[in-house]
């Protein structure tokens, strides 16, 4: 049997796959405290004082980081875990989710724009690029404009006007009719 791999989480050394991973809860300072301290009722008045006392215990605890990690994994809905109350953990999870989404969107948008540039350089028509990327010409134009590639956005908009001239004609007519009606009523 080979020894478990070691890794450091904040101030705590944990053995992945070893018995120390499961035993972290046996080393918590919360075991020496009243369990109700970590599960206050409410979040105002006396409960705020109770939350602060629980967090003070957590700050001294040698397994604070692992405790917080487990609470986030299990999405613990109540109490103070790893030095954070339920609202702080929820905010941390939301923040992490937003960051992950932004990173994924940036990667997707960047790779999509790279694909578009390469296809345009190879002489592929914008209509065919839209088909290959399973997208519409207006969507690709908006994506390119958001990425700061105005010339590419203009190419896709021109191609869309050629492919769908009636859509632009109707859109222009509706806008003109609305403007005339507004001017007449004023």
Q: What pTM, to 2 d.p., does this model score?
A: 0.49
Residue-wise pLDDT tens digits, 110-160: 667 888 888 888 889 999 998 888 888 988 888 888 878 888 889 999 999
Residue-wise pLDDT tens digits, 50-68: 999 999 999 999 999 999 9
The CA–CA distances, whole Å, from 13 to 55, 105, 135, 180 equal 21, 35, 49, 73
User: Where residue 8 falls among pLDDT bands split at 50, 70, 90?
Assistant: very low
Average confidence score pLDDT of the chain: 79
Q: Residue 172 above 50 pLDDT? A: yes
Q: What is the pLDDT of residue 24?
A: 83
User: Where residue 165 falls among pLDDT bands split at 50, 70, 90?
Assistant: confident
How many angstroms separate the CA atoms of 86 and 24, rounded? 21
b/e burial code for range 75-104 (CB count within 10 A of at least 16 → b): ebeebbbbbbbbebbeeeeeeeeeeeeeee
Q: What is the pLDDT of residue 6?
A: 33
Q: What is the pLDDT of residue 174?
A: 56
Q: What is the pLDDT of residue 105?
A: 61
């Amino acid at each position: 049997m080979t020894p478990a791999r070691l890794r450091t989480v904040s101030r705590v050394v944990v053995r992945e796959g070893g018995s120390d991973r499961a035993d972290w809860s046996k080393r918590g300072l919360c075991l020496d405290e009243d369990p109700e301290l970590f599960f206050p009722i409410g979040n105002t008045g006396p409960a705020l004082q109770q939350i602060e006392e629980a967090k003070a215990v957590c700050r001294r605890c040698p397994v604070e980081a692992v405790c917080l990690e487990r609470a986030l994994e299990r999405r613990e809905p109540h109490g103070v875990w790893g030095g954070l109350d339920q609202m702080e953990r929820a905010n941390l999870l939301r923040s992490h989710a937003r960051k992950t989404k932004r990173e994924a969107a940036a990667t997707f948008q960047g790779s999509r724009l790279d694909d578009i540039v390469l296809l345009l350089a190879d002489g592929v028509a914008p209509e065919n690029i839209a088909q290959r990327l399973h997208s519409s010409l207006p969507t690709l134009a908006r994506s390119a404009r958001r990425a700061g590639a105005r010339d590419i956005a203009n190419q896709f908009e021109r191609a869309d006007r050629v492919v769908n001239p009636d859509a632009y004609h109707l859109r222009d007519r509706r806008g003109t009719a609305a403007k005339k009606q507004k001017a007449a009523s004023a």
